[in-house]
């Protein structure tokens, strides 16, 4: 009888030791404090690791993040899945392409404006000189500008310069 009691006690203690070997986790909470627990960490936990052996349910600091610091920072958000990271990456790529295209269009528009300004200034100088200026008609014939046509063309060129040479 004594032997069976010893075997039963040994078996009971073995079973209780196996349950004592439950999983233990360690992580840093949102406020940066280390937490050790037998419950798995939340998704927002940083520096998660599994300790494997059961340790006391000790929590250093508070497990609840402080809400007084304002809205959540990116470090406090849950880690993203590979698909979410891919979506974010593609979004950043698209934004960069759009920004580059916009800058390219602005540079082209600025260059066109400078070219127009330079052409208008050259035309204005030429129209102010005493040199006769020829003009092509709608039918393709070439004629020398009259003083009235010259004044009209000077005024038109002045308006172009005001718009393009700002």
Q: Is position 98 within any domain?
A: yes
In DSSP terms, 28 is beta-bridged to 34, 46
How far is 125 from 135, CA to CA, in rounded Å?
A: 16
pTM to 2 decimal places: 0.45
Domain count, the chain: 1
Give me the helix-helix angle, 82-128 and 147-164, nearest 10°: 150
Of the pLDDT bands very low, low, confident and very high (cuts 50, 70, 90), residue 59 is: low
| Radius of gyration of the chain, Cα coordinates, nearest whole angstrom | 41
Q: Is position 71 within any domain?
A: no
pLDDT at 43: 75
Q: Is position 44 within any domain?
A: no
pLDDT at 122: 94
Q: Is position 127 within any domain?
A: yes
Of the pLDDT bands very low, low, confident and very high (cuts 50, 70, 90), residue 15 is: low
Residue 99: domain span: 82-132+144-164
Greater pLDDT, 31 or 21:
31
Cβ neighbourhood burial of 116 (10 Å; 0-12, 13-18, 19+): middle
Q: Is position 114 within any domain?
A: yes
- Predicted confidence (pLDDT) at residue 71 exceeds the cutoff of 60: no
């Amino acid at each position: 009888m004594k032997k069976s009691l010893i075997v039963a006690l040994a078996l009971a203690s073995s079973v209780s030791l196996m349950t004592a070997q439950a999983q233990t986790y360690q992580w840093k909470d949102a406020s940066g404090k280390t937490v050790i627990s037998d419950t798995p960490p939340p998704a927002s936990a940083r520096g998660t690791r599994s300790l494997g052996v059961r340790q006391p349910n000790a929590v250093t600091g508070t497990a609840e993040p402080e809400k007084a610091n304002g809205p959540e920072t990116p470090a406090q958000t849950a880690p993203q899945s590979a698909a979410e990271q891919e979506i974010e990456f593609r979004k950043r790529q698209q934004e960069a392409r759009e920004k580059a295209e916009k800058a390219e269009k602005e540079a082209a528009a600025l260059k066109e404006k400078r070219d127009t300004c330079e052409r208008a200034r050259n035309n204005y100088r030429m129209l102010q000189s005493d040199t006769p200026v020829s003009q092509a008609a709608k039918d393709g014939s070439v004629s020398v500008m009259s003083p009235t046509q010259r004044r009209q063309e000077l005024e038109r060129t002045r308006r172009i310069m005001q718009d393009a040479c700002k």
